[in-house]
Amino acid sequence: MYKLENKIAIVTGGASGIGLETVKAFLEKGAKVVIADYNEESGESAERELSGRGADVIFMQVDVSGEEAVKKMVQETVKKYGRLDIIVNNAGIGALANTHELTYEEYHKVIAINQDGVFFGAKYAIQEMLKSGGGCIINTSSILGFVGQAGAFAYNASKGAVNTLTKSLALEYADKNIRVNSVNPGYVESGMVNREVLGDFYDTLVAKHPVGRIGKPEEIAHAMVFLAENEFVTGINLLVDGGYTSH
């Protein structure tokens, strides 16, 4: 019996990249999954593809920077499935800019999605998990929650906050059988991180990872499964970074 069999999970930012691979990994373990994403076209496409294979999966369009939207997402999930066992607060964006030129609007947009979105997701998931006797929260953070990067002020700030709030939540709800962890990926192959898009800078990124390559989305998803299944793990920021932060 898989530990995730028949578990009810929400994955935000679940229509592409790490989020989509996490959805697939949870489904393979027998979970029922809500794909929550701002991109309606990608979300509906993922739902069609996966449900066509017999998976129990639905798509909800959600902007995680809006508290009411996240509240509704959780309520609709519980209405359909009866409870919520796992939420992966994965939705996020980046913004590269010189800090002295960064506008408040640009800064706040990153914080609203990457940090506020985690708060909203955790808040409303916890409300339901307290009713059902427990659950699991996994936040997608980053190596940039541990180390700085020039030009990534807003992203660094948001991910540093995610790492610390993860530990705070884990302590606050450990005695309520609610576990809270984060996954901190290194650079991962994606639509924006590949040789075709980045050219020679791709090699620069590769060189920062001692294993000699950047990550694959499915490798990060595997870490998500570990955190969802292991009931003795809470309050950790799990680095999956090919040795990036070991320098």
Q: Kindly report the CATH number assigned to the domain that includes residue 16.
A: 3.40.50.720
Average pLDDT over residues 97-109: 96
Its domain, for residue 62, covers 8-239
Q: Give per-residue pLDDT as tens, 132-147.
A: 999 999 999 999 999 9
Residue 247 lies in a domain: no
| pTM of full prediction above 0.85 | yes
Residue percentage of the chain with pLDDT more than 70: 99
Residue 133 lies in a domain: yes
Per the model's pLDDT, the better-predicted residue between 92 and 193 turns out to be 92
Residue percentage of the chain with pLDDT more than 90: 94
For residue 148 the two structure tokens come to 């700085």
Residue 246 lies in a domain: no
Residue-averaged pLDDT of the chain = 96
**Tokens 């940039």, residue?**
144
Given the residues 155, 173, 187, 244, select the one marked as catalytic. Answer: 155
Residue 194 lies in a domain: yes
How many domains, the chain? 1
For residue 17 the two structure tokens come to 């990249």
Residue 245 lies in a domain: no
pLDDT over 80 at 247, yes or no: yes
pLDDT over 90 at 190, yes or no: no
Q: Establish whether 155 is a catalytic residue.
A: yes
